[in-house]
Structure 1
Amino acid sequence: MKREKKAAKGSAPDRTMLKKEIIGIAFMLGSLYLICAILSFHPDDEASFAALRWYDIFGKAASDVAESIHNPFGLLGARLSAFFINSFLGYPVILPVLSMFFWGWSLLRAKSLKPALFFFLYSVVISIVAASMFGLTSAPFSDVMAGTIGRMLAALLSTVIGFTGAWVLLGVIAVVLTFYMGKSVFAALSRIVVTVMSAASVPAEAIRVWNEERREKRAEKRRVKEEKALRKKEEQMRSVPAPAPVMQPKEEPRPAVPLTYDEPVLPADATPAASTTLQQLISQVPGEPEMIIHQTVREKEADLDERRLKVQTKDREAYRFPSIDLLEKVPEDNDHIDEHHLAESKRKLLEKLAIYKIEVKRISTTVGPRVTLFELELAPDVKVSRVKSLENDLAMALSARGIRIIAPIPGKNAVGVEIPNGKPKTVWLRSVLQVEKFKNSKMVLPIVLGKTIANEVYIADLATMPHLLIAGATGAGKSVCINVIISSLLYACSPDKVKFVMVDPKRVELFQYQHLKNHFLMRFPGIEEQIITDPQKAVYALRCVVKEMELRYETLEKAGVRNIGDLNRRFPEEALPYIVVVIDELADLMITAGREVEEPIIRIAQLARAVGIHLIVATQRPSVDVITGIIKANFPSRIAFQVASRVDSRTILDSSGADQLLGNGDMLFQPSDQPKAMRIQGPYVSSGEVEAITSFIGSQHALKNLCVLPAPDSQKGNGSQSSGSTEKDGRDSMFEEAARLVVMHQQASVSLLQRRLRLGFSRAGRVMDQLEFSGIVSEADGSRAREVLINNEDSLELLLRNLDG
């Protein structure tokens, strides 16, 4: 009995130790699983399992969802990573999870749990501090690094103690915690790392020895093979008799060998054999690879004035397209190629690549208006990343700015290097419009973007984009690009086919299009001007477009069609025009109106394609608070002009390259159906040419049926009031006071009602419409002030009594 009691007493500590080891192993495995799941977080997974409840994770619906999960740790890993990243502390949560591994390690090795407890407390506080710091930044990755708690604490601290105070407080907390708690915690962690590394060093040493033996065997085989080949070559040389010496005449120095073209120019009496000989002489340049210059595209010219210029509109008013002679004549271009500059660029390029032991097999070049593309076919053993990393070195060797490397060129076994030309050529708007491609285009909304490196005129269809985002630094060419797009639409489309909504917060970029008010510009209820410059009016105008979009969807539903193209083909007499919304400076609207302007833009971008409403948005501040993630997701087609840094380029295009552009219309265009951006030189159109086009259209007879957008639904917070502010007969409660005000001042405008009666913009516009309906003021005439039709207050009182009676 005594022995059994002793055995029982001796086995109790062993069981306790075994239980601690099992718990420790469970903690370590669980923490490793969580860390790997968090590091494998994918932002698209949350949309897949959003409708799947937690208790359905083992059901049949979970198997369908699991097929679309990107996280390699399954549906559970995707849920846990989405929770920790989005709804908790973001990626800094890895520190508290790592403390679980420390707990397990301490239990497994029967160590004191005090260091693990200190590390847990330290990691929790430090992760909260790190998440709050990331919440204070506006970097693209701040959302996943801060989480919901980090953003909430950052907003709270910046509101209470200010942005700078928040940074100072969080930095002091991090330094103090690391100073007081870091010594013991990091000492324990270092001991764990040393133990783990020593345990892993044994198999690592075995693998290293095996690799060395394998490398020596390969080197030995290669040496034996080279010796055999050398002996064989020596035997062949001994068997061939030496030729008799022949006296050669003294060679005259040969002239420099010209560069190779795709179609070399030969004499008139040259034979096919002579052609072959010439090609060999050109390509066999000692010590350098072959270089071929591709012939650029020659667009077939066409006279736009030969088409039918005069057409009938719906209201039986004749409309005449603008003549191509309104644009300046293009200077003659002899298509001369500076061969000396090409040869010098090639030599410098090869010399720099040879320094880094990068072998080039073949070079082909394409000379564009502003840059020349060198296509380098590399040796099979050269990595593409090596060439990509030499971007700055090549720019220094060539003494040029704007060196851009395309590694690799899509669809080709080559790496592209774009080098600026010594003498750049200007692309004129007339030269890209007066081509057969534009004249015979079958696109719905053709817009000319410019010329590619191969001198090919690039025309895109705005209807298939369906929206376009334009961004770049000041003076890089955004406003000229907008003028080119609008001008190409004016040359291609009649007023029955397209209408414009123009928003110009800078007030000076789109004022020339006022001449289009009777033909192409949409009107807004309660607003005199048709080119919007006020931010609050811009919000109202965009909501009018949203209301038009909703009404058009109702029309499509009643007609039983899916898009505006099918509707116009089925009912040509009731065809709806396409609407192009042009916003010249989005950053100014985002600063002044913020969320109010972002909401209608997103709604239009998401839904308006099917009903023929398209957005063209430009900004000179490509930051994440202006070009938000939601806006980028709905603008797959983007144009990037020259920017200051790679961060700005990635914000626009999700890739670098725009920071290497040359300015003055040099752009990168990212089509929605291509993986990489293409370089295009935008055409130049002067303000005088735009003025000539718009004046020509404005001088024609005004259309009788002008398009007016519907008024948006009343919403709180935008100056519009609820239905409780109206009296009987639908008149506003401020109607009589507004009538007395305009009669007393003998002038009528929406801004006057806003200032004197303290009304919101939408409500003031409705009151002005009621005054017009009652015969107190005249109809709106563009930007001119309305005429007051009542001369004195006595006549007004008589009119008001008649209205009430």
Structure 2
Amino acid sequence: MLAALFFIGALLSFHPEDESLLSSLPWNDISSAEARNVADNIGNPFGLLGARLSAFFIRSFFGYPAILPGISLLFWGWSLFRQKSLKSALLFFLYMLFMAIDIAAMFGLTSMPFSDYLSGTIGRMMAAMLSTLIGLTGAWVLLIAVAAITSFYMGRGLISIFSENVRSARDNLGKPLGALSGWIEKRRKKKTEKARLKEEKKKLKHERNGVAENSETAVPAHSDSFAQPASPPYREDEEIFPAPSEQTGLPDLPQSYALTGAHAGVSGEPEMIISAGVHEKEADLDERRLKVKTKDREPYRFPSIDLLEKVPDDDNRIDEQHLTESKRKLLEKLNIYKIDVVRISTTVGPRVTLFEMELAPDVKVSRVKSLENDLAMALAARGIRIIAPIPGKNAVGVEIPNGKPKTVWLRSVLQVEKFKNSTLKLPIVLGKTIANEVFIADLAAMPHLLIAGATGAGKSVCINVIISSLLYACSPDKVKFVMIDPKRVELFHYQQLKNHFLVRFPGIDEQIITDPQKAVYALKCVVKEMELRYECLEKAGVRNIGDYNQRLPEEAIPYLVVIIDELADLMITAGREVEEPIIRIAQLARAVGIHLIVATQRPSVDVITGIIKANFPSRIAFQVASRVDSRTILDGSGAEQLLGNGDMLYQPSDQPKTMRIQGPYVSSDEVEAITTFIGAQNALKNMFVLPVPDLQKGNGASMSGMQDRDGRDSMFEDAARLVVMHQQASVSLLQRRLRLGFSRAARVMDQLEYSGIVSEADGSKAREVLVNSEDSLELLLRNLD
């Protein structure tokens, strides 16, 4: 920024007479007597360097329009100073460069005396070339068209850049200026009120004194014994206003009541208090440290917040007319059933409004709870939900959908101070509460999350939001993902994370599992990883992964997040085989940093079994079809009244009641932009590979039928001859040709690798067959025996 200011100042201070003084002085001569003499005589206040820069750029370059790229360099430095993305600065620089060249060429077409300073050598050269090629008129038309088209296409981006800077400056200056104006207004009102009270006191004092004088003159002299003493005149500082009951003649009313109607003394509806809600402090995620080093010395850069779509401007206005109408209908229906409301307050959220009603002491809560359907009919709205009572409050809550629902965008919930400075281990953003507060949970403390709801209610978007939150908060050294997607289409975007965040499985080329049998194998690999981590914790003498990583930072173990996008399909195809590893992980894996996120669109008892529910204390319910499904997920009703499109009930593990949250929306394009940004970075050298699970144990007959006396599978030799004959090795080849199941074929492949017949797995690349001929194989097999 200082260099840009120096450059702009030097160009603005250009003196044509300086060129003659500088022509005889070499560039590298800065310390001789002649150089000092020239420096004393030049007119440019920025010295020899400023004079040479101005002479070069104005004479040999674009002329004075060269100031425009200098201004863009100033903005470039400002972006670097604020640690903002340089995309906007680059756009501004290109625009200014195009405009400088275009303006220089325009002045080159003119013959004004000062046009040489406004065109420079390049401007004159371009003007001569264009006028010769397409004529003077054509050159003017072309240059004007280039300027207009460039301004049209780049101007929109520049306007948004400057509006964002102006908005940021306004937000930063708005608070102190607002506080100052508020203080001035408060002082003005205080002075006005004080003057008014003083005037009224004087007026009342004169009236009382006048009454006293008249009463004294009206009393006869012989009735002194009955005369009342005259009231003394009031002092300036004496309070003379009567009590409310003296003014109106009415009994004192509760403060929450308002007088309505034409006749005084008729009490009306309780006053409605509208809560302002929570105003989250915004923060720029790009101002944090974005570039970090990983264990294998490969740098990793966090994704920029600019990859997410910008949040549309929201006026945050409250539809008071809709609130008043809803309140009137609500109270009318309650009055029909003789339910008195003492006080009512409202909180307006993104999708629903919460009416908190304080009931009269003699009203039973169960009476309000039984009116859920009647209130829904009276308000002509779907999704009426009654909270009776609200936890921690002496009130009953009624949630009513808003007339104009608002969309919660992922960028709006990530770009807040709470998320930027979060100290949670695995922070995930679930959305906004009814009070418009951004709700951030810690997956490490849950420790597992069950997500259920009908098709299209928002489960997959919720999973994308959770993964995106972890990608913005954690580096590849801190967290790894195991993704199981039986539907095959929900998690395919995350394939680009294979070199950074996705784990690898022994014997499997895929890193996002879609086959149910492979999913069972992958979960067993996770169980084996869990057992090995417990052994590490036991040797280190610590109780959990946090203490282990703190004690041995060089051997830090990453958190492992297992995501299953559709549990129902796995339970149907694999049944008991998939339930057993899920239950083991859910019961034991918290201390070693392995956490499950399981989603299903079929919340029935044969999918969400009692054992699974017992080990998933944290649950999210989206809209479901019936109250039975809601009870299956949350052990209570309410999910059947949700509105869909991200409207959820969240059951925390440490609270008895559910919370209503509006989940944020993230599009497929945004997810793809994030994963593409991460996937384009250098791959990590040391990939995280899960261990091989233990061989399936059973009775003696089954074991003897599958293994020989050396512990190798009975199909080991046939598999060896098959891969040598085809000179290719894969688990799918063994499955097709030898009619083996996936788990058994994977074990046979591991035995072939251990015996030196095939190479180790290298990600998605095919294994190399190390034995060239069948004769060499037979010799190797005899040596193994």
User: Under a length normalisation based on structure 2, what TM-score does the superposition of the two structures give?
Assistant: 0.65
Give the equivalent residue in structure 1 for 2:380: 399
Q: Deviations over 1:223-252 (max 9, x none)?
A: xxxxxxxxxxxxxxxxxxxxxxxxxxxxxx
What's the offset of the Cα at 1:772?
4.4
CA–CA distance in structure 2, aligned partners of residues 645 and 581 of structure 1:
29
What's the offset of the Cα at 1:637?
0.6
- The answer to whether the 8 A contact 1:526-1:762 is kept is no
CA–CA distance in structure 1, aligned partners of residues 383 and 457 of structure 2:
14
- The answer to whether the 8 A contact 2:453-2:621 is kept is yes
CA–CA distance in structure 2, aligned partners of residues 519 and 598 of structure 1:
29
Give the equivalent residue in structure 1 for 2:189: 270
- The answer to whether the 8 A contact 1:714-1:721 is kept is no
CA–CA distance in structure 2, aligned partners of residues 299 and 780 of structure 1:
49
Matched residue SS, 2:269: coil
Give the equivalent residue in structure 1 for 2:496: 515
What's the offset of the Cα at 1:544?
1.1
The alignment covers a number of residue pairs equal to: 538
What's the offset of the Cα at 1:292?
0.5
Q: Deviations over 1:42-95 (max 9, x none)?
A: xxxxxxxxxxxxxxxxxxxxxxxxxxxxxxxxxxxxxxxxxxxxxxxxxxxxxx
Distance 1:383 1:781, change over 3 A: same
- The answer to whether the 8 A contact 1:515-1:697 is kept is yes
The CA RMSD measured in Å over matched residues stands at 2.8
Matched, 1:448 2:367: no
Amino acid at match of 1:398: L
Matched, 1:622 2:600: no
Structure 1 segment 99-498 matched on structure 2, within 5 A: 269-271=188-190, 283-286=258-261, 287-498=268-479
Distance 1:722 1:702, change over 3 A: farther
Q: 2:668 aligns with which of 662, 687, 690?
A: 687
Amino acid at match of 2:300: Y
Distance 1:272 1:550, change over 3 A: farther
CA–CA distance in structure 2, aligned partners of residues 548 and 495 of structure 1:
18
What's the offset of the Cα at 1:736?
3.8
- The answer to whether the 8 A contact 1:293-1:365 is kept is yes
Matched residue SS, 1:357: coil
Matched, 1:588 2:566: no
Q: Deviations over 1:507-541 (max 9, x none)?
A: 11111111111111111111111111111111111
CA–CA distance in structure 2, aligned partners of residues 715 and 766 of structure 1:
10
Q: 2:584 aligns with which of 582, 599, 603?
A: 603
Distance 1:697 1:624, change over 3 A: same
Matched, 1:699 2:684: no
Matched, 1:500 2:468: no
What's the offset of the Cα at 1:725?
5.3
Matched, 1:666 2:647: yes
CA–CA distance in structure 1, aligned partners of residues 306 and 321 of structure 2:
37
Give the equivalent residue in structure 2 for 1:801: 779
What's the offset of the Cα at 1:801?
2.2
Distance 1:780 1:281, change over 3 A: closer
Q: Deviations over 1:5-48 (max 9, x none)?
A: xxxxxxxxxxxxxxxxxxxxxxxxxxxxxxxxxxxxxxxxxxxx
Distance 1:326 1:425, change over 3 A: same
Give the equivalent residue in structure 1 for 2:691: 710
Matched, 1:567 2:548: yes
CA–CA distance in structure 2, aligned partners of residues 446 and 750 of structure 1:
37
CA–CA distance in structure 1, aligned partners of residues 192 and 274 of structure 2:
22
CA–CA distance in structure 2, aligned partners of residues 423 and 285 of structure 1:
29
CA–CA distance in structure 2, aligned partners of residues 282 and 270 of structure 1:
26
Q: 1:533 aligns with which of 510, 514, 534?
A: 514
What's the offset of the Cα at 1:303?
0.7
Percent of residue pairs bearing the same amino acid type: 84
- The answer to whether the 8 A contact 1:721-1:763 is kept is no
Amino acid at match of 1:447: I
Amino acid at match of 1:516: L
Matched residue SS, 1:374: strand
Amino acid at match of 2:415: Q
What's the offset of the Cα at 1:675?
1.1
Distance 1:725 1:399, change over 3 A: closer
Distance 1:272 1:438, change over 3 A: farther
CA–CA distance in structure 1, aligned partners of residues 360 and 255 of structure 2:
22
Please list every run of 5 or more consecutive structure 1 residues that lacks an aligned counterpart in the other structure. Answer: 1-262
- The answer to whether the 8 A contact 1:568-1:576 is kept is yes
What's the offset of the Cα at 1:776?
5.2
What's the offset of the Cα at 1:758?
2.3
User: Under a length normalisation based on structure 1, what TM-score does the superposition of the two structures give?
Assistant: 0.63
Q: Deviations over 1:573-607 (max 9, x none)?
A: 11111111111111111111111111111111111
CA–CA distance in structure 2, aligned partners of residues 526 and 723 of structure 1:
24
What's the offset of the Cα at 1:700?
1.1
Amino acid at match of 1:391: E
CA–CA distance in structure 1, aligned partners of residues 504 and 324 of structure 2:
58
CA–CA distance in structure 2, aligned partners of residues 586 and 273 of structure 1:
69
CA–CA distance in structure 2, aligned partners of residues 420 and 273 of structure 1:
43
CA–CA distance in structure 2, aligned partners of residues 738 and 770 of structure 1:
10
What's the offset of the Cα at 1:723?
7.8
- The answer to whether the 8 A contact 2:257-2:270 is kept is no
Q: Deviations over 1:609-657 (max 9, x none)?
A: 1111111011101111111111111111100000011111111111110
Please list every run of 5 or more consecutive structure 2 residues that lacks an aligned counterpart in the other structure. Answer: 1-181, 198-243, 245-253, 262-267
Give the equivalent residue in structure 2 for 1:81: none
Q: Deviations over 1:280-319 (max 9, x none)?
A: 8995445111111000111111111111111111111111
